[in-house]
Structure 1
């Protein structure tokens, strides 16, 4: 959770009241993240940002 808080950049066009974006992904044997997809979104800009941060988890 700390990593997500430190790397998340809240889009200016997204609602400021907050919320949650649910993302599904697979961690493969090498530790890479693949098949990331938004299962329940909040706002299109926030959904894109959530996917970006999830992709960073695999590095």
Structure 2
């Protein structure tokens, strides 16, 4: 129920905000090593995101 009914609407309306804030590294598999290196160096209160697929 939470994932199918509540969460999509709550995210769209801003009632629910995911945490921690995402930090977009970029788009494409070639950026995964960069994201991993940034993670190894230390990232505090952020999630690193590499987007895949069509943009």
- TM-score, normalised by the number of residues in structure 1: 0.23
CA radius of gyration, larger in: 2
- TM-score, normalised by the number of residues in structure 2: 0.24
